[in-house]
Amino acid sequence: MTVTEQPAQAPEVGRARLRKEDARLITGRTRWTDNIVLPGMQHLAMVRSPFAHARITGLDASAAKSAPGVVAVLTGADVKDVQGALPNAWPASDDQKTPAHPSIAVDEVAFAGEVVAVVIARSAAAARDAAELVDVDYEELPPALELKAAAADEVLAHPDLGTNVSAVWTFDSQEKGTGGSADEAIAAARADGVVIEREYRQQRLIPAFMEPRSVVCDPTGEQLTVWTSTQVPHFVRIFVAAVLGIPESKVRVIAPDVGGGFGGKLQFTPEEVITVLAARHTGKPCKYTETRSESLLSGHHGRDQWQRLTLAATRDGRVTGLKVELLADMGAYLGLVTSFIPMLGALMYNGIYKLPAYHFTCTNVLTNKTWTDAYRGAGRPEATFAIERLMDELAAELGMDALEVREKNWITHEEFPFHTVAGVTYDSGNYEAATARARELFDYEALRREQRERRDRKDPVQLGIGVSTFTEMCGLAPSRWMGEQRYAAGGWEHAEVRMLPTGKVEVVTGTSPHGQGHETAWSQIAADRLGVPFEDVEVLHGDTAIAPRGLDTYGSRSLAVGGQAVVMAADRVVEKAKPLAAHMLEAAVDDLEFTGGRFAVRGTDKGATIQEVVWAAFTSHDLPEGMVPTLDAEATYDPDNFSFPHGTHLCAVEVDTETGQVRMRRYVSVDDVGVVVNPLIVAGQMHGGLVQGIAQALWEEAVYDEQGTLVTGSFVDYTLPTAADTISFVNDNTVTPAVGTALGAKGVGEAGTIASTPAVVNAVVDALRPLGIHDVQMPCTPERVWNAIRSAGENQAEPTTQQAQEHFEPGAPNQDPTAGHAGTPEKGAGQ
């Protein structure tokens, strides 16, 4: 046995490693679902309703059936007895009105894009050609479209339900005993304080993941195998079984490499059901891959709310109460978690503030549009937007600085753990530290000075500064909490660590990455816990036959919950290895210490590496009495609280008052996501998240016309930003470890999106405030900004001087020179 001292290894956790999965993901030389080709595979094309609301009065598929290459055509009538109903797993009330949700419409369609028939053919082209030949007669019905009108039941989206109101959900801090009465606080503030009343629109957004959804189903084995571009293979397995009445043991679901989701693939879709039905009907493998247009039209959408908000405060800037009244657009059906999305934000409208009284009501409304569901942040961006916009409005009303009014109200770092008015316990945080760092990086005072100067000289380009000091609750887990809230499942996460004879390691995770870099981060975690090289760890996921236990990836849960499960499983491997190591070293278990992958007998130079112990377990030539010949271990983790990342985001924008154009000038985020496993991945999540949140503020909106047709049905009109539209962000972190886990990590997947939207809109409004403007509806398009300026009238900045041009140099990169210090990437080995 070698006795040389091993060099102390630098810990993997905290290293800015390049992601090991990137080469295959970026080049596309990998198993995207649409790349899968099976022998005898057939292709599907959907026939979709062009009408938002209509009765199907006739459907003639005979021409399609006899078209070249066509194997079969299935209609609602054909499958109505076998297709079951698509599930809603998170009802908002016990008496929620839930429209029946068929995968293929049978008698009626409730949104434009709903599937009415599917063509199965020998090639994708033949399927598409034949789909054009399916002749459907519709009798149009009036559609319920605009949210407020729908809430008033002017037109019914599903006449059989008798109302569009699906559910009403309420939280009252007085009733719950977590605070006082919001109404009383507001009444008191009306008498001798300040009341801010606002109505904000959370426009409808489209997740617009990069890889359109795709499903392949192979029915030719004992187990039916479904490959699907999903975030939730484990859910899909359960639902294929439950909805179609197939024993779960006969179903295997694989999420191969998946190109983004943002919540948009947290769904059990009609297309998944239809592909399985088609494969079973024909007895052959079938593939369906949606077009980009289909993806925008019929993949679920996000947000879409009206928020009526009343904030009460004292004259010296202390908030005393908040009342929130929401209307939330469900769209035509209740998807997997559609009905509870607004409520995921319900417990966060108080933000980071010590609010004494809080009242929340949400009315879920059905309309004849694509259904809404999870989209990055899911309920929490809306909540954060509301409170962070209100805090800026309060500051303006009182003539205080936006940061000062926040500081007056936030929870100080000594006050953790803090029980909020919404009944949630924030475990940790340090808002002062994050804000101080953000101020410094932003050069807050200098930008305020520049703002004053531009105002004084009536520069046509005005500067605005927006603040967002946010927190969010993520790491979607506590199973007990989810149960209390009527969720159909739990939120634990599972991991297995398998020690291979040659010393290599397989980490099996129940999370299901779709671009986040789990393979890299999980390898870093396992490498540290086991003391093995990063390169020796392989992470397996997304296949119910390989990773049978798991609850998948959404709600910024993978690292905070699933990562902790990996830690626990790896630690169990070490515990299991100890008796064998002791046996090999002829020492007592208590005399062993494990560091850097080596079991050493304390006070001696005797030791054995974990690889040696693994080999000994494999050969089993000399095991201690009663020991089984494997060191593999599993662990399931179910936290008893959420994780609460927080941060301070500061944004400066320039507003061209002549055109209404808004340009980013500087963006600083200082986030506390607890312990950072890989700074590069965190920076990546922040960058992407920020752009997605900024896009809600400035660019994106799903628009329907009066007939209920999606007008923004392609990327020509759904204006997704690219790198050319943003600036280099300045990202930094403070580290307050999450309490209660060995890992100490909080979620980061949604933070950027949640925080940035209000920061940007606050900045736009801040630029225009001297004109008497206190809101611009999202997205703050140039036209909307210009209209706000125009209708603000008189006070308007004098028209133009030439300085205007300086900051709008066409083609200038518009970048912050201090940006881009997120850590130097290290080359991942094996690349």
Q: Which residues bind other proteins (CB under 8 A)?
A: 124-125, 128-129, 132, 291-293, 658-659, 661, 698-699, 703, 711-712, 716-717, 719-722, 724-725, 781-783, 786-787, 800-802, 805, 810-811
Which of 776, 755, 756 lies closest to 767 in space, CA to CA? 776
Which of 178, 125, 495 lies closest to 322 in space, CA to CA? 178
Pick between residue 71 and residue 600 the one whose CB is nearest to other proteins: 71
Pick between residue 393 and residue 700 the one whose CB is nearest to other proteins: 700
CB of 378 to other proteins, least distance (A): 25
CB of 820 to other proteins, least distance (A): 20
Contacts with 440 (C-beta within 8 Å, 6 or more apart), sequence order = none
Pick between residue 401 and residue 658 the one whose CB is nearest to other proteins: 658
Residue 179 CA neighbour count, 13 Å, CB half: 27
DSSP category for residue 624: P
> Would you tell me the crossing angle of helices 751-768 and 679-698 to the nearest 10 degrees?
40
Pick between residue 60 and residue 783 the one whose CB is nearest to other proteins: 783
The rounded distance, in Å, linking the Cα atoms of 167 and 712 is: 29
The rounded distance, in Å, linking the Cα atoms of 172 and 379 is: 18
CB of 516 to other proteins, least distance (A): 25
CB of 121 to other proteins, least distance (A): 11
User: Mapping DSSP to helix (H, G, I), strand (E, B) and coil, where does residue 732 land?
Assistant: strand
CB of 664 to other proteins, least distance (A): 12
Q: Classify each residue of 743-773 as buried b or exposed e, where b means 16 or more C-beta atoms within 10 Å of its C-beta.
A: bbbbbbbbbbbbbbbbbbbbbbbbbbbebeb
The rounded distance, in Å, linking the Cα atoms of 274 and 118 is: 8
Pick between residue 637 and residue 718 the one whose CB is nearest to other proteins: 718
Could you tell me whether strands 730-733 and 662-672 are parallel, antiparallel, or unpaired per DSSP bridges?
A: parallel
CB of 208 to other proteins, least distance (A): 13
The rounded distance, in Å, linking the Cα atoms of 557 and 511 is: 9
CB of 760 to other proteins, least distance (A): 14
Between CA 609 and CA 616, with CA 610 as vertex, the angle to 5 degrees is 95
CB of 572 to other proteins, least distance (A): 50
Contacts with 630 (C-beta within 8 Å, 6 or more apart), sequence order = 499, 617
The rounded distance, in Å, linking the Cα atoms of 83 and 80 is: 6
The rounded distance, in Å, linking the Cα atoms of 586 and 607 is: 10
Pick between residue 231 and residue 781 the one whose CB is nearest to other proteins: 781
Pick between residue 26 and residue 125 the one whose CB is nearest to other proteins: 125
> Would you tell me the crossing angle of helices 564-585 and 610-619 to the nearest 10 degrees?
70
CB of 694 to other proteins, least distance (A): 11
**Is the dihedral angle over the CA atoms 223, 224, 226, 231 positive or is it negative?**
negative
Pick between residue 645 and residue 660 the one whose CB is nearest to other proteins: 660
Pick between residue 477 and residue 785 the one whose CB is nearest to other proteins: 785
Asked whether the beta carbons of 346 and 381 are under 8 A apart, the reply is: no
Pick between residue 132 and residue 593 the one whose CB is nearest to other proteins: 132
**Alpha-carbon distances of 736 from 100, 148, 406, 428, 465, rounded to whole Å:** 46, 42, 20, 7, 27
CB of 810 to other proteins, least distance (A): 7
CB of 684 to other proteins, least distance (A): 21
Pick between residue 79 and residue 773 the one whose CB is nearest to other proteins: 773
User: Mapping DSSP to helix (H, G, I), strand (E, B) and coil, where does residue 598 land?
Assistant: strand
Pick between residue 11 and residue 68 the one whose CB is nearest to other proteins: 68
User: Mapping DSSP to helix (H, G, I), strand (E, B) and coil, where does residue 170 land?
Assistant: strand
DSSP category for residue 559: I
CB of 124 to other proteins, least distance (A): 6
The rounded distance, in Å, linking the Cα atoms of 227 and 42 is: 14
Q: Which two tokens stand for residue 678?
A: 């890989």
CB of 730 to other proteins, least distance (A): 21
